């Protein structure tokens, strides 16, 4: 089994963050490990508090794993402070990490910010250069384009054409694969996978659901799992999209505050757990 690492924040309600990542790794048959960047106290409705781990703690977690264990892919999620971003940047260089999936997490499903402004600049200008694929949603895509073009007056993304245009700006700047996630476009679930030379329009079924907390984390972790197993970038993304669709179909409903995706749902449907143990 391949080892895959998530460097990300903790979501105590466990739909997103490292908890989502671990469940995604388990559901995709890779051995998942976690380096925690921040603790968040939240549910799908609200982020109540964020506490970042110290630089020393972050560094030691990374060393504990990468000094001794072979890791076939790394997913990077929430990075709140620039200092923590710098440690991650240095570590990725030091250990010559490969198959890096960077989810440029900015805003939680509930609308609360998970990143400091100065960290956004660091992500775009430094950390992006070490990733193999970057997976922004529409709001994050707009924020990234603002930073690249040094222009605050960037229009909202309201069409697939604009997703392609903005995706190309990021791809040309980073020279990496970019997956612009269109799930928030009102009538479609189209994602654009783009690099300097190629553009793929990936159509998906749009399920109307209030239980979508954790889709972004699950998608990026599933891509990392697939890359670790040796799939091409296109196949890794296509399979990951399918996985997220299953996780939304099997979601967990917490009632009024909304709910979260359920990464294990499809497995439970197909395996009789009662017979296993």
Contact set with ligand PXL (CB under 6 A): 8-9, 11, 16-17, 40, 42, 77-78, 105, 108-109, 114, 216-217
Which of 251, 238, 241, 193 is CA-nearest to residue 218?
Answer: 241
If the CB atoms of residues 49 and 276 are measured against ligand PXL, the closer one turns out to be: 49
Q: Which helix (H) or strand (E) holds 146?
A: helix 138-149
Question: Cα(63)–Cα(260) distance, rounded to whole angstroms?
Answer: 32
Which DSSP letter does residue 113 get? B
If the CB atoms of residues 155 and 256 are measured against ligand PXL, the closer one turns out to be: 256
CB 114 → ligand PXL: shortest distance, Å?
A: 6
Q: Which helix (H) or strand (E) holds 26?
A: helix 17-27
Q: Tokens in use for 14? A: 């466990």
If the CB atoms of residues 16 and 229 are measured against ligand PXL, the closer one turns out to be: 16
List all residues 6 or more positions away from 61 whose beta carbon is below 8 Å from its beta carbon: 35, 36, 53
CB 54 → ligand PXL: shortest distance, Å?
A: 18
If the CB atoms of residues 41 and 231 are measured against ligand PXL, the closer one turns out to be: 41
* CA atoms within 13 A of residue 116's CA, in its CB half-sphere: 13
Phi, psi at 175, each rounded to 5°: 65, 30
Which DSSP letter does residue 182 get? -
CB 189 → ligand PXL: shortest distance, Å?
A: 16
If the CB atoms of residues 167 and 216 are measured against ligand PXL, the closer one turns out to be: 216
CB 175 → ligand PXL: shortest distance, Å?
A: 25
Question: Cα(56)–Cα(62) distance, rounded to whole angstroms?
Answer: 10
If the CB atoms of residues 229 and 241 are measured against ligand PXL, the closer one turns out to be: 241
CB 8 → ligand PXL: shortest distance, Å?
A: 6
3 state DSSP class of 41: strand
CB 106 → ligand PXL: shortest distance, Å?
A: 8
């Amino acid at each position: 089994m391949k080892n895959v690492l998530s460097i990300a924040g903790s979501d105590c309600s466990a739909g997103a963050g490292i908890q989502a990542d671990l469940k995604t790794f388990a559901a995709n048959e890779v051995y998942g490990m976690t380096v925690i960047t921040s603790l968040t106290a939240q549910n799908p409705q609200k982020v109540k508090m964020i506490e970042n781990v110290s630089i020393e703690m972050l560094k030691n977690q990374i060393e504990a794993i990468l000094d001794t264990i072979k890791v076939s892919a790394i997913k990077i999620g929430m990075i709140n402070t620039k200092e923590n971003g710098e440690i991650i940047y240095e570590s990725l260089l030091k250990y010559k990490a490969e198959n890096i999936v960077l989810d440029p997490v900015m805003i939680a499903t509930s609308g609360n910010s998970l990143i400091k402004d100065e960290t956004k600049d660091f992500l775009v200008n430094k950390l992006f250069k070490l990733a193999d694929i970057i997976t922004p949603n529409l709001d994050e895509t707009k924020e990234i384009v603002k930073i690249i073009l040094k222009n605050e007056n960037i229009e909202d993304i309201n069409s697939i054409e604009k997703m392609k245009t903005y995706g190309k700006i990021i791809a040309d700047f980073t020279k990496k694969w970019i997956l612009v996630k269109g799930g928030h476009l009102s009538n479609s679930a189209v994602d654009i996978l783009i690099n300097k030379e190629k553009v793929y329009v990936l159509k998906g079924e749009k399920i109307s659901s209030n239980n979508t907390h954790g889709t972004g984390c699950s998608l990026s972790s599933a891509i990392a799992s697939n890359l670790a197993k040796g799939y091409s970038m296109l196949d890794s993304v296509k399979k990951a999209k399918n996985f997220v669709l299953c996780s939304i179909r099997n979601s967990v409903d917490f009632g009024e505050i909304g709910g979260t995706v359920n990464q294990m749902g499809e497995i439970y449907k197909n395996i009789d757990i009662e017979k296993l143990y």
